[in-house]
A and B are shown apart, each in its own frame.
Chain A
Amino acid sequence: QKEVEQDPGPLSVPEGAIVSLNCTYSNSAFQYFMWYRQYSRKGPELLMYTYSSGNKEDGRFTAQVDKSSKYISLFIRDSQPSDSATYLCAMSELEYGQNFVFGPGTRLSVLP
């Protein structure tokens, strides 16, 4: 079993749809959870950062963490064609340091 798993995708949705992207993990020591967006031929860029369980909202994006189930989600409301990218979840045991464990990514296409 891989340490972090994501819905395999690819995922295609119509413009305006609500998108749900999910990751599961096995290491109960993870405390810091992140979502990155990666456009084709670009490096990942940070979308959301959360600590421990709970929800965090930023504009059209909402991140949820359920540590008891070892499950995290990213919701995108009113999806736009510009949201078409690969979404990577990442996790860390420590607040400091950069040894993040990434999921394999889910490729999302938002169709106009």
Chain B
Amino acid sequence: DAGVTQSPTHLIKTRGQQVTLRCSPKSGHDTVSWYQQALGQGPQFIFQYYEEEERQRGNFPDRFSGHQFPNYSSELNVNALLLGDSALYLCASSPSLAATGELFFGEGSRLTVL
């Protein structure tokens, strides 16, 4: 049973560019969230998708946007990259909106902005 898979695992971009990160949730999961984890920090909630709609959003600017597809996979897009966007981006899935702490995380996409 495949867990949460993310791609790419590493990428390097320059300031001002745009990036798209991809996530496939664990089998049987329909809810996806994205988190940003800066070096030495805990993950910070970006947003959550359920039924192809953004359901919750954390304190992130509109440069961060997302999408969920009918097969429950998801994309995170970041426009106009800043140096401060360098971080590990984690995708997490759960069986439903009723998370009860049962978030399953992928291994993340490490973004470096130069």
Contacts and interface: CB of A to CB of B under 8 A. Distances in A.
B45 A99 contact: yes
A21 interface: no
Contacts of B48: 97-99
A25 to B, nearest CB: 12
Interface string B40-68: 11111100100000011010000000000
Contacts of A104: 40-42
A96 B97 contact: yes
Interface stretch (B11-19, B72-80, B100-108): B100-108
- By size class, the interface of chain A is 20 to 34
Contacts of A60: none
A110 to B, nearest CB: 20
A112 interface: no
Contacts of B107: 41-43
Interface residues of B, number: 29
Interface string A71-100: 000000000000000001010100111111
B43 A44 contact: yes
B94 A32 contact: no
Given A41-B107, A44-B105, A97-B55, A88 B42 contact: yes
Nearest 8 A/B pairs, CB to CB: A102-B42, A43-B105, A49-B101, A98-B33, A34-B101, A98-B48, A99-B45, A98-B99
13 contacts: A4-B42, A6-B42, A43-B4, A92-B101, A97-B99, A98-B31, A98-B56, A98-B103, A99-B58, A100-B45, A101-B45, A102-B35, A102-B44
